Amino acid sequence: MMPPNPNLPAAPRGVLAALSLAMLLPSLGTSIANVALPTFAATFQVPFHAVQWIVLAYLLAITTLIVSMGRLGDMIGHRRLLLLGILLFTAASLVCGLSPTFGLLVAARAVQGVGAAVLMALTIALVRDSVPKAQTGSAMGLLGTMSAIGTALGPSLGGLLLAGPGWRAIFLVIVPLGLLNGLLAWRYLPPDRTRDQPHDQTHERSQENTGAGNARSHVDQHGLALPRLDLSGFDFAGTLLLALALAAYALAVTTGSGSSGLDVFGLLTAAALAIGLFLRIERRAKMPLIQLSLLQDGARRAGLLMNLFIATVMMTTLVVGPFYLAHFLALGLAEVGLVMSIGPVISALSGVPAGRLVDRMGTARIMRMGLGAMALGSLGLSLLPNLIGVPGYIAAIALLTSGYQLFQAANNTAVMMAAPAAHRGALSGVLSLSRNLGLISGASVMGAVFTLGAGTNDLQTARAPQLATGMTITFAVATLLILFALGLSQRRQMTQAAPISNEKRAK
């Protein structure tokens, strides 16, 4: 794990260590299991369409509950719920590693996904609760780095463990990391503020209570400085409807290729009906799951849309890349894995510098730089590999992933910076949800674009010219998505500048 910034005092370093592990664990939980799918199929004697549920159960739990977990954290305390989420994630990992049956393994993976939803929803919110405003960009960059490390580490670590102790070890190795994360979070994260406590008082008290070597105050000695646990106002109806809508959509796009068109249409119709009812309930609820007024802000809405589009592009590289490298560039499995690891490694190396640039130069400029680099990288992927082979692919993917880290650090900071304290968890959950929906859509929609461009659904037997055409068309479409996001970033800057101009004219 990369060390936190040594220039920070001890308490913020402890906070960043806790949040870094909380960001790494869900990514590791996603990527480490994928490499073992053939082993699971052989061990439990289940077909491929069934073994996919080891991955789908985890992803569906995250996607459907991430917003609800963020809102729940706003109500009962970010620190308290994060500690519970770490405990749940760690315990579920232990059950996964000890599961004697396939059904129990899938169920435990779903519970693990619930814990991951808590971690993903609250980690970004806790940055705003715990880190000085001037260092928010650096902290966001560090979290991006840790997410990339988790994604990159999973396949290689999983492969080593499969070759050694066996498949159970890929889950059991997470247990000590979860215990360490829980210890760091309990020791260093500032106490949750009570409902009637101003945010600045909480911040001052957290600085005193989390100093290196200092004992916690009596109030937080056992983590008791918490909001009153009261779920009477929690929006259970909204939570259920949003979960149903997201689950139906996710199932439609992830299992659509193996289902009839009628099944997919039914799932999408159910998703549309559920989201319509959800919006109607949220407008009338006294304490809604999502404060819809938060989404009426044009700048914030643009940030969420950009996050969705850019996640779609990044998922495209993971879906299309292996087929293109193996069947057009004729690389072996080990070589494909090596080339595919370049993107996550570059993301891991560039995350912290990207965050520091945001702190120094501001979100708007860094966001434009990142999207510009991504557009050039995506355009390069559509052209260079067909012309000069592997070097062209590597150069383009390096530019794309570096730009992605610039965008992510800037956009996450911009969306969360102005978030009201009472709704940071929910908004952080919506931000993570927009990314997850982009990943799901990227795997489905952009995968379909690739097969349409190649002119065949059987990529294993596709001829080289077909794959080259598919690659060109797919990343041309990806470039258009990035340019659209760049246009949204310009519009967001104009939206933010308009109130300032109006104030100046009024004066």
| pLDDT per residue as tens digits for the range 273-323 | 988 998 888 888 777 777 777 777 778 888 889 999 998 998 888 778 877
Task: Over range 253-266, report the average pLDDT.
Answer: 69
Mean pLDDT of 347-356: 82
Residue 381 pLDDT exceeds 50: yes
Given this model, what pLDDT does residue 375 score? 96
What pLDDT score was predicted for residue 198?
A: 44
The pLDDT assigned to 190 comes to 83
Q: What is the pLDDT of residue 216?
A: 38
- What is the band of 229 on the pLDDT scale with cuts at 50, 70, 90? low
Q: Look at the alpha carbons of 325, 471, 479, 416 in this order and tell me if their dihedral is positive or negative.
A: negative
pLDDT average, residue stretch 363-385: 94
Highest mean pLDDT among 174-188, 316-330, 417-431: 174-188
Least confident residue range of 5-19, 63-77, 389-403: 5-19
Q: Give pLDDT, residue 224.
A: 41
Q: How far apart are CA 351 and CA 20, in angstroms?
A: 12
Classify residue 113 by burial, with Cβ atoms within 10 Å: 0-12, 13-18, 19+: buried
| Lowest mean pLDDT, pick from 146-160, 251-265, 379-393, 493-507 | 493-507
Residue 36 predicted with pLDDT over 90 = no
Position 220 pLDDT exceeds 70: no
The span from the CA of 275 to the CA of 272, in Å, is 5
pLDDT at position 89, please?
A: 97
Asked if 150 and 28 touch (Cβ cutoff 8 Å), the reply is yes
More confident residue, 312 or 258: 312
Average pLDDT over residues 155-179: 88
Decide if pLDDT at 271 tops 70.
yes
Superfamily for the 294-496 domain: MFS general substrate transporter like domains (1.20.1250.20)
Q: Average pLDDT in the 372-383 region?
A: 96
- Flag whether pLDDT at 218 surpasses 90: no
Minimum mean pLDDT range among 53-67, 288-302, 388-402: 288-302
pLDDT at position 284 = 80
Instruction: Of 111-125, 126-140, 488-502, give the lowest mean pLDDT range.
Output: 488-502
Q: Is the pLDDT of residue 504 over 50?
A: no
Structure-token match 């159910």, residue found: 270
Reduce the DSSP state of residue 159 to 3 states and report it.
Answer: helix
Most confident of 205-219, 227-241, 321-335: 321-335
Tokens of 504: 């100046």
Q: What angle do CA 128, 228, 224 make, to 5 degrees?
A: 75
- pLDDT at residue number 84: 94
Banded pLDDT at 240 (limits 50, 70, 90): confident
| pLDDT for the residue numbered 428 | 76
What does the mean pLDDT of the chain come to? 80
pLDDT of 106 reads 93
Query: Rounded CA gap, 53 and 55, in Å?
Result: 5
Residue 187 main-chain phi, psi, to 5 deg: -80, -40
Whether the Cβ atoms of residue 67 and residue 290 lie closer than 8 Å to each other: yes
Which pTM does this prediction carry?
0.70
Q: How confident is the model at residue 24 (pLDDT cuts 50, 70, 90)?
A: very high
Cβ–Cβ < 8 Å for 351, 141: yes
Q: Percentage of the chain with pLDDT > 70?
A: 82
Can you give the pLDDT at residue 498? 45
Higher pLDDT, 211 or 482: 482
In tens, the pLDDT along 443-467 reads 778 878 888 888 877 766 778 888 8
Q: What is the mean pLDDT of residues 430-436?
A: 81
Architecture category of domain 1-210 in CATH: Up-down Bundle (1.20)
Q: How far is Cα 19 from Cα 248, in angstroms, rounded to an integer?
A: 31
pLDDT at 502: 45
pLDDT value at residue 300: 81
- Mean pLDDT throughout 148-169? 82
Q: How far apart are CA 398 and CA 376, in angstroms?
A: 11
CB atoms within 10 A of CB 236: 10
Report whether pLDDT(204) > 50: no
